[in-house]
Chains A and B, each alone.
Chain A
């Protein structure tokens, strides 16, 4: 896969398959089949992530790898996934430790030590952060909801840019937009 769209598409494809395998409505009856499906697609995500050299794909690779890695059930695969994760996080804005700690919990690894908090990583309450629990399946219920729900429209009561926003006189028309077409 030499083109970026192909790599991104493969990440989304395998992630969709992993999530489908995790959420089969008759899961107990199809347990082995779904487990096999999860493993196969998780291994593919890890294989693609391992080959990523384009830094611009790191964020998608990290996100998909962190979902796929939950399915890994051998220590060997888990160790290698963490090595890939650390390599991808290097030189990016993401801290591998947060994801690693979550994965360790999912894999039931013993906690290595009580972390001391690095001030550089104190960036809580941030929308796009990776330090919230990775959602595994039905057993985890997160109280947080998508902050974009119900507020990302100027017709909403609590619309963004309160006190600044004034509706435009004219909707964006083709004439105005055409100057931006490449």
Chain B
């Protein structure tokens, strides 16, 4: 099932990026993997890890633009299976990877479409104690998860500020404005803390502004 789901993704990608390939093979693999998954989720003794992982891969398949509309919505299905497995930011290995792929896919869509996140970042389980120095082997993942959390909170803040657009002078409005200012300051200070405390491996090795380099680019060169 998992292999079929991956093959469906690969075939679909090829059919979109290359005119030499049709999408018939992709659709076949997608339907076979979906059929397998639909059978498995009727079994109460199923392998939940396998089901959630395959559903996520099929959700990625559905994210690839296509002329054919998928019959099953694995985007919502994979999220529900991931939640059922209890996977979150604290889950190691495969479950953690599935959680973060799923979250990042949603966040990128929320950023683009100005949608609220459906999974409150405060319940992801991200360790946001950025003053504490962690002596862990690979701190990059932790700092990446922190900035994804911050970006998720900022994304939701933006949606909230779009919804509240009254400009009256009532006490309620002033109270609301004060709250928004406080929230904004909090989010901004998280960004300050993140950039201040993130390890050097998370920062650019160098950055050159365009003006001294006589380059054709107006943007800085960052590497």
Interface positions of A (Cβ within 8 A of B): 1-3, 5-6, 8-10, 12-13, 15-17, 19-20, 22-26, 43-44, 46-48, 50-51, 59-60, 63-64, 66-67, 74, 76-77, 80, 91-95, 119-123, 125-130, 132, 134-135, 137-138, 140-142, 144-154, 159-161, 164-172, 176-177, 180-182
Chain B residues numbered 5-28 whose CB sits less than 8 Å from any CB in chain A? 13, 16-17
Q: Is the interface of B mostly helix, strand, loop or mixed?
A: helix
22 residue pairs bridging A and B, Cβ less than 8 Å apart: A5-B140, A10-B202, A10-B204, A12-B151, A16-B150, A17-B191, A26-B177, A47-B207, A51-B223, A80-B219, A94-B65, A128-B63, A134-B112, A152-B118, A153-B79, A153-B83, A164-B41, A166-B41, A168-B44, A171-B84, A177-B49, A180-B95
- The reply to whether A92 and B93 form a contact with Cβ atoms under 8 Å apart is no
CA A57 to CA B113, docked complex, whole Å: 20
CA A91 to CA B18, docked complex, whole Å: 8
- The reply to whether A51 and B221 form a contact with Cβ atoms under 8 Å apart is yes
CB distance from A177 to the nearest CB of B (A): 6
A2 contacts across to B, CB distance below 8 A: 205
Sort chain B's interface into a size bin.
35 or more
- The reply to whether B141 and A5 form a contact with Cβ atoms under 8 Å apart is yes
- The reply to whether A3 and B201 form a contact with Cβ atoms under 8 Å apart is yes
- The reply to whether A167 and B44 form a contact with Cβ atoms under 8 Å apart is yes
